[in-house]
Amino acid sequence: MSIFQKCEGFEAAHMYEALGLYPYFHPIEEATATEARIHGEWKVMVGSNNYLGLTHHPKVLEAASKALYKYGSGSTGSRFLNGTLDLHYELEDRLAQFFKKEAALVFTTGYQASLGALATLIERDDHLFLDRLDHASLVDGARLGHGELHRYPHGDFDALRKQLSRLPPDANKLVVSDGVFSMEGSVVDLPRLVRVAKQHGAQVLIDEAHAVGVLGPDGAGTVSHFGLQDEVDLVLATFSKSLASVGGVLAGSETVIHWLRHHSRALIFTAAMPPSSVAGVLAALEIMQNEPERRERLWANTNKVAECLRSMGFDTGATSTPVIPVLIGDIEKTLHVWRVLFDEGVFSHPIVPPAVPQNACRIRVSMSAEHSDEQVERVLAAFARVARTMVTV
């Protein structure tokens, strides 16, 4: 026996490659905000999370390149030591205001923000409650913590209530949920979640990864959409979606953020977010706040595509956001659909287990404010082709 035996026995990826159905790691040779050149052909990108289309905005690129020349190409150290720039503090101040919290802490990725928050806060005898469909980064953060993890069925607040009420009233409890569920596109019923949590003395953390730039009058996400800033204790977000960069943030009270700044291993034992990324996020935030018409365009594209897909007979599940799942069924069929779309010039994602249950495989489409009418039509035409060939795939 060898530790590598499992690697030698792993055949699935080769098998799908041989069938021309392998959808992962296709290298992008060049990109705009809405298209990618792959294997020499331009495809409309509906597989990114570039909701506001800011990755190629001239002001974002200019801010990033100025910072590159001012501070250098990398942070070469931890936030704790030599990695903190004045720009990190500027971004933290701006984000604290944006999320209406006292303070914020910037991590190198959104994933690390999840680990940095949950693994650090949840100590022995503390209890953490996660929706079954919460993002993997939250699950991993919870697993790294030393407290007890409870999962409740997706959106089932009666089940959450039962789990919470089994614990003594004075036990430490944190309820954690995605604001927008990343594979469903649905929005958490935050007023109910908050009510149940508060009735049981639990604190609340909301992950706004797919909600920033999308929901709320100012684009600040689900919490702002429901006006529950005072009831939600911690807000987590990433910069890898609407904010067109890479990095993550946790916003909350000054006391909690100060404690995490000095205890969070995911902050301390890794290099800081690089200067050009921080500057790019600062620019993207400003554009997002000054150009609300981008959000309007995003919603117009979203509503058009979702309605047309439904009228073609596709099941788009419970989505009410720019993340539009197109439910297909089993893996094979989903990969065939992905291939038809790819060949028609559309870059989408097949979502298969373990991200979703066996027979709930889907194509995930995500819309951008920058998709032109012509690109939207190309995407819809590709799906029309799928609808016509569906019986044979």
Ligand X SMILES: Cc1ncc(COP(=O)(O)O)c(C=O)c1O
- Point out which residues bind ligand X (CB under 6 A): 109-111, 114, 135, 137, 178, 182, 207, 209-210, 238, 240, 248
Least spacing, CB of residue 53 vs ligand X, in Å: 18
Q: Which long-range contacts (CB under 8 A, 24 or more apart) does 136-142 make?
A: 137/110, 137/111, 137/113, 138/114, 138/176, 138/178, 138/207, 140/111, 140/114, 140/115, 141/114, 141/115, 141/116, 141/117, 142/118, 142/176
Least spacing, CB of residue 251 vs ligand X, in Å: 14
Least spacing, CB of residue 212 vs ligand X, in Å: 11
DSSP string, 248-292: EEEEE-HHHHHHHHHH-HHHHTSBPPPHHHHHHHHHHHHHHHH-T
d(CA 168, CA 357): 34
Least spacing, CB of residue 108 vs ligand X, in Å: 9
- The smaller minimum CB distance to ligand X, of residues 155 and 248, is found at 248
- The smaller minimum CB distance to ligand X, of residues 48 and 376, is found at 48
The pair of structure tokens assigned to 334 is: 């989903």
- The smaller minimum CB distance to ligand X, of residues 83 and 110, is found at 110
Least spacing, CB of residue 179 vs ligand X, in Å: 8
- The smaller minimum CB distance to ligand X, of residues 118 and 376, is found at 118
- The smaller minimum CB distance to ligand X, of residues 55 and 137, is found at 137
Of the candidates 53, 2, 344, the residue with the CA atom closest to the CA atom of residue 214 = 53
In DSSP terms, 148 is beta-bridged to: 127
Place of tokens 């039509």: 377
- The smaller minimum CB distance to ligand X, of residues 219 and 248, is found at 248
Least spacing, CB of residue 343 vs ligand X, in Å: 26
Q: Which residue is nearest to ligand X (CB)?
A: 110
d(CA 190, CA 54): 28
